[in-house]
Amino acid sequence: MTDHDYWSIFPRMPKKVTLGDITVRDGFQHLEKFVSTRAKIFYAEEMIFAGCRNIEVTNLGSAYLMPQFSDAEEILGYLRSDRFRKKCEKRGIDYNDICITAVTIREKAVDRAIELSRQGIGPDRCLMMVSTEEEHHFANSGTTLPVYWKEAERCIQKCRDAGLKMCGTVSTIWGSPIAGATDMKDAVEFTKRFLEIGASDIEHADHDGSASAPDVYRYFSMVLDDIPDTSVHIAHFHETKRVASASVLAALHAGITHFEGTLGGLGGQPANFLDDCPVPGTGDYYYKDPRYVGLTCLEDMLVQIDEMGIEHGYDVDRVLWLGRQLERTVGHRLRSEAVINGRTLKEGHLQFARPGLGKLKARMDETPGQKLPGEWKDEAVLPERLRPA
């Protein structure tokens, strides 16, 4: 007989996960409107109050190229303020449990993060990024891979000396939006290289929605066979074909315990048009239609994991409320289904019940909860031709 216990079938699947939020950085960078500093602080703060402990809030790269991050220091300053610390304390949140990340693709941004740290407003964690496909890497960083690896090695040492963590992102694992198919073995090797030079953890990134569930399972199984410490692995999926939830499930089956997403499924390349003006960003968009790109939707992923009975630490209803507020901030409908339909309620929706069922059952001499005719046997007897062999 088939084993019906999910965790027996997938013994590596976790019963507790960490969900990081990267809305304020990755989510907002793709919008062609500047989200106010006050709104960014609101969503960062509220996500922390809702249970988030790993949050990415800005990019310390060039504000000329990406002007949506021109308020980076103000956001970091608020999250380091006594006011915010007291708010956390009032809600029973241990401020030291919160990890604040800023993206620092190049060394100049890493140096800025370290200087801000000296001023008392720096991030806890920086992030650098390589792509296994070099054309995509060049589009993101402007360097060759060998040159960038040496830069990353220097920067990781600088961060360690300053008491900061460095996350290494490995991208184009399942394909490149520029050069097409890639080899997953390259990403496993790049993961090892990042860890070898001192990265604290690895973001395994599907940056254009290329991943399929079988390849996600295969890749993370390969990774965990070689590097079994699940605390250093983070799954980062994009949604372009409505299959990211399958990728999340496949990663869970493989044993991954740390995921990240954005409210509303926002995100993608940095915008090349902001408010009323073209801006450099990272050049032309890879996508045919920017409405259909973005990250795994955090609200939907949270509901998916919650309904699987996996522990996550979030107030689900508060996150769904935040998702609805974000649609007002952005000014249009986003991609979460859960913010509209909510969770599957075990108690049902009895307000939609048709009146009179109880009276009808009594008139038919049926007992409450009776589902079969009284003269039928307790269990069905299948025709012999349909029984298991």
pLDDT of 266-286, one tens digit each?
Answer: 998 899 999 999 999 988 887
- Note whether 132 and 191 are within 8 A (CB): no
Q: How many of the other CB atoms lie within 10 Å of CB of 370?
A: 11
CA distance 56 to 114: 16
pLDDT the model gives residue 1: 66
Q: Which two tokens stand for residue 308?
A: 């699987």
If we measure between CA atoms, which residue out of 83, 88, 61 comes closest to residue 72?
61
pLDDT in tens, 56-105: 999 999 999 999 999 999 999 999 999 999 999 999 999 999 999 999 99
For 210, what's the count of Cα atoms within 13 Å in the CB-facing half-sphere?
21
Contacts with 198 (C-beta within 8 Å, 6 or more apart), sequence order: 153, 156, 157, 160, 166
pLDDT in tens, 95-135: 999 999 999 999 999 999 999 999 999 999 999 999 999 99
Residues of the chain with pLDDT under 50: none
If we measure between CA atoms, which residue out of 350, 167, 182 comes closest to residue 260?
167
* Strands 273-274 and 277-278, sheet pairing: antiparallel
CA distance 11 to 255: 8
- Note whether 320 and 299 are within 8 A (CB): yes
Q: What is the 3-state secondary structure (H, E, C) of 158-211?
A: HHHHHCCEEEEEEECCCCECCCECCCHHHHHHHHHHHHHCCCCEEEEECCCCCC
Q: Which residue has the tokens 């509209």?
A: 340
- Which residue blocks in the chain are alpha helix, DSSP H? 6-9, 28-29, 37-49, 72-79, 82-90, 107-118, 134-141, 145-162, 184-196, 213-226, 244-254, 298-307, 316-330, 338-341, 357-363
CA distance 376 to 354: 27
- Note whether 330 and 31 are within 8 A (CB): yes
pLDDT the model gives residue 76: 98
CA distance 37 to 30: 16
CATH architecture of 6-341: Alpha-Beta Barrel (3.20)
Positions of CATH 3.20.20.70 in the chain: 6-341
| Integer CA distances (angstroms), 248 to 197, 210, 255, 297, 334, in order | 28, 13, 11, 11, 20
Q: Is 222 exposed, middle or buried (0-12, 13-18, 19+ CB in 10 A)?
A: middle
Q: Is 1 helix (H, G, I), strand (E, B) or coil?
A: coil
